[in-house]
């Protein structure tokens, strides 16, 4: 029995510290792959503006700004919401151009940070995200505030109530889509 115990000697302190450090280091390297993607991990330079609610971000691809709907460049079935609000088609086309110009001037070539909501992709495979400008401004909400987009009410999303309040203010002030 005495010979058995000599093999159960505790490991030297240096080995314990080294092995624990190595284990923590490996966990540190693997942890980002095991957890959902954090907002800070989704950032990049805006390389293209498709329209008033879709951009392209370097190393990420097409990004659809979650919670907003900007008018299309051409007549579309999606115009029906705006037409029911009393907005004329000519106004929709004009605001579509203004939204595109605004995005080009505001974000093209700049680094943005993306934050996803409940749904991360739309039916077209585009990433759905809140887009934050370098100064912390939420681009999605800014487009609504300027009247370049309306709240996309078809689906639920975390910031829906804030966006609706922002839209009401834009309507009250007659901005963009809501110009009399």
Annotated catalytic residue: which of 6, 20, 45, 64?
A: 64
CATH of 39-178, one of 3.10.20.30, 1.10.10.10, 1.10.40.50, 2.40.50.90: 2.40.50.90
Q: What is the pLDDT along the chain (180 residues), one digit of tens a residue?
A: 555 555 566 667 666 656 665 555 555 565 544 444 444 469 999 999 999 999 999 999 999 999 999 998 777 777 777 778 888 888 899 999 999 999 999 999 999 999 999 889 988 999 999 999 999 999 999 999 999 999 999 999 999 999 999 999 999 999 999 998
pLDDT at position 108:
97
d(CA 66, CA 159): 9
d(CA 61, CA 74): 24
Annotated catalytic residue: which of 45, 72, 91, 158?
A: 72
d(CA 83, CA 179): 14
Which pTM does this prediction carry?
0.75
Catalytic site includes residue 123: no
pLDDT at position 41:
66
Annotated catalytic residue: which of 115, 126, 127, 146?
A: 126
Contact present, 144 and 172 (Cβ < 8 Å): no
Delimit the domains of the chain by residue range. 2-34, 39-178
Catalytic site includes residue 64: yes
Residue partners of 112: CB distance under 8 A and separation at least 6:
43, 44, 45, 46, 57, 131, 132, 133, 134, 139
pLDDT at position 35:
46
Catalytic site includes residue 33: no
pLDDT at position 40:
45
Contact present, 163 and 141 (Cβ < 8 Å): yes
């Amino acid at each position: 029995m005495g010979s058995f115990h000599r093999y159960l000697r505790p490991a030297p302190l240096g080995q314990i510290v080294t092995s624990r450090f190595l284990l923590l280091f490996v966990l540190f390297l693997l942890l980002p792959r095991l957890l959902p993607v954090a907002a800070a991990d989704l950032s990049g330079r805006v390389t293209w503006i498709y329209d008033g609610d879709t951009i392209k971000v370097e190393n990420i691809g097409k990004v659809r700004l979650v919670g907003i709907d900007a008018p299309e460049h051409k007549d579309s079935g999606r115009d029906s919401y705006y037409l029911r609000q009393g907005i004329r088609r000519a106004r929709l086309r004009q605001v579509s151009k203004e939204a595109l110009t605004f995005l080009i001037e505001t974000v093209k070539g700049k680094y943005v940070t993306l934050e996803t909501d409940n749904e991360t992709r739309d039916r077209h495979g585009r990433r759905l995200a809140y887009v934050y400008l370098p100064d912390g401004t939420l681009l999605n909400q800014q487009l609504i505030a300027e009247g370049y987009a309306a709240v996309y009410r078809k689906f639920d999303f975390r910031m829906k109530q804030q966006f609706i309040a922002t839209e009401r203010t834009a309507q009250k002030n007659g901005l963009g889509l809501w110009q009399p």
